[in-house]
Amino acid sequence: MTQSISTISYEELLGFFDCAGVDRAISEEPINRFAQSELLEQELKPAFQRETKKSNKHYTNKVDDTNTNFINTQTNSGAFKTTLELAQSAKSLEELHQYIQNFDRITLKLTAKNTCIFDGNPQSSIMIIGDTPGREEDKEGVPFVGRSGQLLNRILEAIGYSRKTCYITNIIPWRPPGNRRPTLLEIEQCRPFIEKQIAFIKPQILVALGDLATHVLTGTNQGIIRSRGKWLEHISENKHVIPVMPTFHPDYILKTPSQKKLVWKDFLTILKALKAESS
């Protein structure tokens, strides 16, 4: 016999909420976050197209059509202005990390268990950037510690690197509920944080894992299937041109093992470029 909601005890109901990830009462009155998000996203609509500049001679294998309709804006939206000003005010990478850890003006922070900022070496010449934390990352507060992280570890070890010799992070430091794709507003709120991390670290190469990271870092409107394996560019806030290698996200490889050889090819290309830079 099906148990009706009216006969469920408070303890059972609380247990259900806990399993569903509801671990706090936000307010006594319900708030329509979807309506708020729609209003704020309207403020982000007057966007301009981002154009990637021509690369230096060392990175000539480019995607030709790199103009984009992907939003890259500076607006008067209160939330976005806050992250932009906060990131720009950081005097060091450590201070920026602390700002991200303490930042609470984004709804994702309310539903995530932990803030996943980075793992690895801030002095590294290679910066690996994914999209959002997964379930295991949310639990641990560290990027790429689940199955996808284990796969990434093996890939790095195969080219002579490791988590300790790379800087690993995500575009979004908080896990979206249900692993949904982050909204345009959430991406733009978090953009200043990743931009500032890149500016502080000054890596020789950026590795973009998946569609979202590739779009945000390069502005390309091409999907990851077309853009992977081809050098693109990121223009940092201090106007440095940094080569970007897009490749498949480890999650995608776990679901589509036949594409593993393409990721291996991409990381060999990365290794070759790193050796050329150091010679």
* Average pLDDT over every residue of 90-111: 95
Q: Are 150 and 6 in contact (CB under 8 A)?
A: no
Q: Is residue 120 exposed (0-12), middle (13-18) or buried (19+ Cβ within 10 Å)? A: buried
Q: What percent of the chain stands above pLDDT 70?
A: 72
Most confident segment among 2-6, 30-34, 249-253: 249-253
Q: Give the three-state DSSP class for 155.
A: helix
Q: 93 CB contacts (<8 Å, ≥6 apart)? A: 122, 197, 200, 201
Tell me the per-residue pLDDT of 118-142, one tens digit each, with 9 for 90 and over.
999 999 999 999 999 999 999 999 9
Average pLDDT of the chain is 83
For position 55, what pLDDT does the model report?
37
**pLDDT confidence tier of residue 210, bands split at 50, 70 and 90:** very high
In this predicted model, which residue has the larger pLDDT, 68 or 183? 183
CA-closest candidate to residue 62, choices 226, 236, 211, 259: 226
pLDDT digits (tens, 9 = 90+) for 235-262: 998 889 999 999 999 999 999 999 999 9
Architecture in CATH of 58-278: 3-Layer(aba) Sandwich (3.40)
